[in-house]
Amino acid sequence: MLTLATTTPGEPEIFASLQGEGPSIGRPVAFVRLSRCNLSCTWCDTAYTWRFEGDNRPHRDGLAFERKANQLVLPEEEVAARIMALGQDRLVITGGEPLLQGAALARMVGLLSGMSVEIETNGTVAPHPALDPLVAQYNVSPKLPHSGNDPAMALIPERLSAWSSEPKAWFKFVIAAPEQVEEVLALAAQYAIAPGRIYLMPEGTDSATLRAREAWLAPLALQNGLRLSDRMHIHLYGDTRGT
């Protein structure tokens, strides 16, 4: 069984769209969004996947979501059938933190036919050994201190070293202020992450904020030989579920 996020009560967040971030930006894909996360970013734009009523972990919006309306459990077979019905040749598994459900994901992905798979992860959880051979790409997004997470939980040396040595992994860092680029460069040096594998992405859930931050982030990416990622889906659809 897989625990999924919902678009509306009772409807799993499984949909086709254009990938809005990272190495596959602009590519038509199927998406499945899983529920639950082991971190709690204060600016998280999918807090409905983890900040349920009774969860007091801080978030800038201060919203708490009713679990029954925002979380759904389905058999792996049904999830796979819904994904295949979308008619795409690539699947993006996102969250939440998808790798918390690695064993169930391996069973689900094993039922897919003719699809390559990329997984978006915060980088703190090792891929399940049955899942890893089925994955074409990992989009690893380590959370910097401005996320509000304890670095001891968010930046685990053993995991960062492992991801750095994983040829299928790309790195995507959420940036809200210029000085955070120095933090990225320090991590890249510490864990020998090649600059060409690193994307800088502005934090923001509206076009105006993204554009304003890209104005100073783009020169910093160019100066340091790093890649820049927009959040294309925000410009196209706004901060909405199922897009």
φ, ψ at 71 (rounded to 5°): -140, 140
Task: Output the pLDDT for position 158.
Answer: 98
Enter the tokens of residue 79. Answer: 């999830």
Task: Output the pLDDT for position 59.
Answer: 96
Annotated domain spans of the chain: 2-172
Q: Give the CA dihedral 100, 232, 164, 145, nearest 10 degrees.
A: -70
Please state, in angstroms and rounded to a whole number, the distance separating the CA atoms of residues 87 and 89.
Answer: 7
Task: Output the pLDDT for position 47.
Answer: 97
Residue of 19, 8, 14, 4 whose CA lies nearest to 81:
14
Task: Output the pLDDT for position 221.
Answer: 98
Asked if 124 contacts 96 with a C-beta cutoff of 8 angstroms, the reply is no
81-97 confidence digits (pLDDT tens): 999 999 999 999 999 99
Task: Output the pLDDT for position 2.
Answer: 98
Strands 116-121 and 227-228: unpaired
From the number of C-beta atoms within 10 Å of its C-beta (0-12, 13-18, 19+), residue 66 rates as exposed
Please state, in angstroms and rounded to a whole number, the distance separating the CA atoms of residues 32 and 40.
Answer: 20
140-185 confidence digits (pLDDT tens): 999 999 999 999 999 999 999 999 999 999 999 999 999 999 999 9
Q: Which CATH architecture is the domain 2-172 placed in? A: Alpha-Beta Barrel (3.20)
Task: Output the pLDDT for position 97.
Answer: 98
Placement of tokens 């890249």 in the chain:
188
Residue 32: what residue type?
A: V
Task: Output the pLDDT for position 200.
Answer: 98
Residues (pLDDT < 50) of the chain are: none
User: Cα–Cα–Cα angle for 46, 111, 101, nearest 5°?
Assistant: 40
Task: Output the pLDDT for position 151.
Answer: 97
| Inter-CA distances, 9 with 1, 73, 226, Å | 18, 12, 40
